[in-house]
Structure 1
Amino acid sequence: MRARLALLALAAAALVAAKPPLRFQPDPSSVIAAEIAFNRLAQEKGQSTAFAETAADDAVMFVPQKVLAKEWLKKQANPAASVRWSTSVVYVSCDGNLAASTGNWTRPDGSVGYYSTIWRRGKKGRWLWIMDHGDTLTSARAAPEFLSGKVATCKRGPQGDAPPPPPAPSKKGDAPPPPDESLLWSADVATDGSRQVTVRMWTGAAYETVIDDTVRAGS
């Protein structure tokens, strides 16, 4: 009897181990919901608190040099009133695990600017930001009448036009999964603090640059 129970336990463990990784649809609305919740959290709990609570462990921001966000945010007090922001457009990778959002922000003093944020699926499918940056503007960018979301075309895989297989689940919590290369981003920072943030999306024939932000030194 004990031997039979042991075999059953081993079989159950094997079934759990064989469970396929979670798959997520490339859903821009889930990123929009995360942005709305992020903004609301900033108004309710404070700007620095909201940024820290929604950041992945390896998230980076620029002050103006690149820093690990959570380490830097630990030393920052919440301002008396948080900046407010609104998303204009969201781009999501083919596998639904990476996204980029961009839009406008307004400070309590009335100054305006833009932002761009890179999001990655974390534990249990929660969106966590991994890069956030922005800059001031003399006047706000024109906001679209309707918020839009776009999904990258799947890159050609080993079986013709079939999408690539889903990545294996990570054992390190928020460690990035292998990218599907349908949504690429880069953030290049110069020694003077200027930077270039670029996001490119695969269209099926080529990469289209969908976000191209240039921040001058001293901004």
Structure 2
Amino acid sequence: MARGSGKAQPSSVVAAELAFNRTVLSKGYQKAYETLALDGARSFDMRGEHSITALLKSADVSGLIQQAKPHQIAMSCDGSVAVSAGRYIPSGGKGGSYYRIWSLQADRSYRIELEFVTPDGKPVDAPDIIETDVANCKESDAATRLSKFAPLQAEMERDAVKFAAKVHQGMAADNSLGWFAGHATEYDRDVLVTVFRNGDWHGALGEVTEADLAPPPVPVPLKVEQ
């Protein structure tokens, strides 16, 4: 894994991921989330959008992560926002893909702001090298970066209205990383992470599920009254 420059240090997010995994093993997933997630942290799973606090109190915790294996990390220039993506083991289930939005706190620690998970039953592997994508803010200022983000922001907002999606989105303090998570139905959901580099915005991480790509519904036999 390549080291970042200045305030952006992807290794700090890897350390937070490892701390989460260790806490789950030693003290349970509830303690891990209580320690490493923000009070208002959200989760997007196949059922929709939820409060992580509410999920911890519910009987169904299948959408929560037990162990995470990051494959990629994207980070803003100032390190205020980072996103990890990779494979995870859910509670009581098989593997899946995940995205985590991390927010830098005043004590320089990272806390989970949002999770986006998609179970797929495939093996959970740990990569030899974690890929990193740190934004580049050289020869640009925060106002310019935000201005250039406006068309992408407008497109995401149009899609959210069109599909009546539940949406959460955010932007780094220095306007160098933007993220968007939306859920309309089980088969209409997406997460997108963009970073600013070489004078423009570029997709760094993401996952899109669209209705026309979804498997056909399983037919349900009619119940015939006798």
TM-score by length of 2: 0.67
How far is 1:185 from its partner? 0.3
**Other-structure match for 1:157:** 141
Secondary structure (helix, strand or coil) at the match of 2:7 reads: coil
CA RMSD, Structure 1 to Structure 2 (Å): 3.4
**Other-structure match for 2:193:** 199
Secondary structure (helix, strand or coil) at the match of 1:154 reads: coil
**Other-structure match for 1:47:** 29
1:62 aligns with 2:44: yes
Q: In structure 2, what is the Cα distance between the partners aligned to 1:139 and 1:108?
A: 15
Secondary structure (helix, strand or coil) at the match of 2:39 reads: strand
How far is 1:179 from its partner? 2.3
1:210–1:68 CA distance, 2 compared to 1 (3 A)? same
How far is 1:183 from its partner? 0.7
Gaps of 5+ in 1: 1-23, 162-175
**Other-structure match for 2:7:** 25
Q: In structure 2, what is the Cα distance between the partners aligned to 1:39 and 1:186?
A: 25
1:145 aligns with 2:145: no
Higher strand residue share: 2
**Other-structure match for 1:19:** none
**Other-structure match for 1:179:** 173
After TM superposition, which residue ranges in structure 1, 4 or more long, deviate above 6 angstroms?
Answer: 158-161, 216-219
Q: How many residues align?
A: 180
Which 10-residue stretch deviates more, 67-76 or 29-38? 67-76
1:178–1:97 CA distance, 2 compared to 1 (3 A)? closer
How far is 1:121 from its partner? 0.9
1:86–1:142 CA distance, 2 compared to 1 (3 A)? closer
Question: Which of these residues, 18, 42, 47, is aligned with residue 36 of structure 1?
Answer: 18
In structure 1, what residue type is equivalent to 2:110?
W
How far is 1:213 from its partner? 1.4
How far is 1:192 from its partner? 5.4
Asked if structure 2 preserves the Cα contact closer than 8 Å seen for 1:49 and 1:78, the reply is no
CA offsets per residue over residues 185-213 of structure 1, 9 Å max, x none?
00111155742111011112221112121
Q: In structure 1, what is the Cα distance between the partners aligned to 2:183 and 2:88?
A: 22
Indicate the structure (1 or 2) with the bigger Cα radius of gyration. Answer: 1
Q: In structure 2, what is the Cα distance between the partners aligned to 1:154 and 1:197?
A: 23
1:160–1:150 CA distance, 2 compared to 1 (3 A)? same
**Other-structure match for 2:165:** none
1:190–1:95 CA distance, 2 compared to 1 (3 A)? same
Question: Which of these residues, 102, 111, 118, is aligned with residue 128 of structure 1?
Answer: 111
**Other-structure match for 1:10:** none
Secondary structure (helix, strand or coil) at the match of 2:20 reads: helix
Asked if structure 1 preserves the Cα contact closer than 8 Å seen for 2:74 and 2:82, the reply is yes
Asked if structure 2 preserves the Cα contact closer than 8 Å seen for 1:59 and 1:129, the reply is yes
In structure 1, what residue type is equivalent to 2:141?
G
**Other-structure match for 2:83:** 100
Asked if structure 1 preserves the Cα contact closer than 8 Å seen for 2:73 and 2:83, the reply is yes
**Other-structure match for 1:88:** 71
How far is 1:138 from its partner? 4.4
In structure 1, what residue type is equivalent to 2:136?
T
